[in-house]
Amino acid sequence: MTEHFAPLVAGQGPGLLLAHGAGGGVTANFGPLLDDLARTHTVVGADYPVAGGTLDELADGLVATAVDAGVEKFAVLGYSLGTAVAVRVATRHPERVTGLILTAGFARPDARMELALDVWAELLKGDRTLLAKYLMLTAVSEPFLAALTPEQVAEAVAGLAASVPAGTAKQVELVRKVDTRAELASIAVPTLVIATTLDSLVPPKHSHELADGIPGAELVEIASGHGIGEEAPEAWLTAIRKVLR
């Protein structure tokens, strides 16, 4: 039985379904974009269940959430782990998907990502401040971090430490299992892949692999670390808007 997630629904217009990243959430990952996107689209999103789930279950749950909200067809905006969810939505429910926007994503984790996941999973078991420092180190680009004052860095670390979502460990484990390479060639909707070129957590080569595997996909590069919503929201929104128009 497909689980229906607690939805966030905003705006009016064509459907836009959001799929967030591991250790994130709809507001955490897409917050700076939501008001603008809702001006022209019915935006539907939902945080993943605390109990976790397979890629199929997350994809089916998001689709069910959109349909419950009266949104029968939609483009899917995926971020990080959400890009794999978006790809699975497109391959399991092709009749509902009008397009894909895949940001800071990957088709499968490589050795570098596996090491990052190992450390992330261990730090989740202990000191959340140390975990937050690790996430700042890996998910924030050097230029963006260098521009912050020591006080701003400390504030960001404290905010991260206090806002680790329940269910993060399950999502980190799911990242290890992702492998969508075999289904990329079957995607038949317009697709934009957005590579975050200063990303050390999910380096841009992963976005190139997605773009190379999806027929006709367009690749856009944005100078940002993994946390593009904080580092480059306007550039991200501009790229998304170009496709949605």
- pLDDT of 56-79, one tens digit each? 999 999 999 999 999 999 999 999
Confidence of residue 20 (pLDDT cuts 50, 70, 90): very high
User: What does the H/E/C string look like for the chain?
Assistant: CCCCCCCEEECCCCEEEEECCCCCCHHHHHHHHHHHHHCCCEEEECCCCCCCCCHHHHHHHHHHHHHHCCCCCEEEEEECHHHHHHHHHHHHCCCCEEEEEEECCCCCCCHHHHHHHHHHHHHCCCCHHHHHHHHHHHHCCHHHHHCCCHHHHHHHHHHHHHCCCCCHHHHHHHHHHCCCHHHHHHCCCCEEEEEECCCCCCCCHHHHHHHHHCCCCEEEEECCCCCHHHHCHHHHHHHHHHHHC
pLDDT at 155 over 80: yes
Average pLDDT, the chain: 96
Q: What pLDDT does 168 receive? A: 97
In the predicted model, what is the mean pLDDT of residues 230-239?
Answer: 97
Cα atoms in the Cβ-side hemisphere of radius 13 Å centred on 63: 22
In the predicted model, what is the mean pLDDT of residues 74-98?
Answer: 98
In the predicted model, what is the mean pLDDT of residues 10-32?
Answer: 97
The pairing of strands 42-45 and 8-10 is: antiparallel
Q: What pLDDT does 1 receive? A: 54
Q: What pLDDT does 97 receive? A: 98
pLDDT at 25 over 90: yes
In the predicted model, what is the mean pLDDT of residues 119-148?
Answer: 96
Q: What pLDDT does 87 receive? A: 98
In the predicted model, what is the mean pLDDT of residues 124-149?
Answer: 96
Confidence of residue 6 (pLDDT cuts 50, 70, 90): confident
What Rg, from alpha-carbon coordinates, does the chain have?
Answer: 17
Q: What pLDDT does 65 receive? A: 96
Confidence of residue 99 (pLDDT cuts 50, 70, 90): very high
Nearest Cα to 102, choosing from 41, 19, 29? 19
Q: What pLDDT does 4 receive? A: 66
Confidence of residue 5 (pLDDT cuts 50, 70, 90): confident
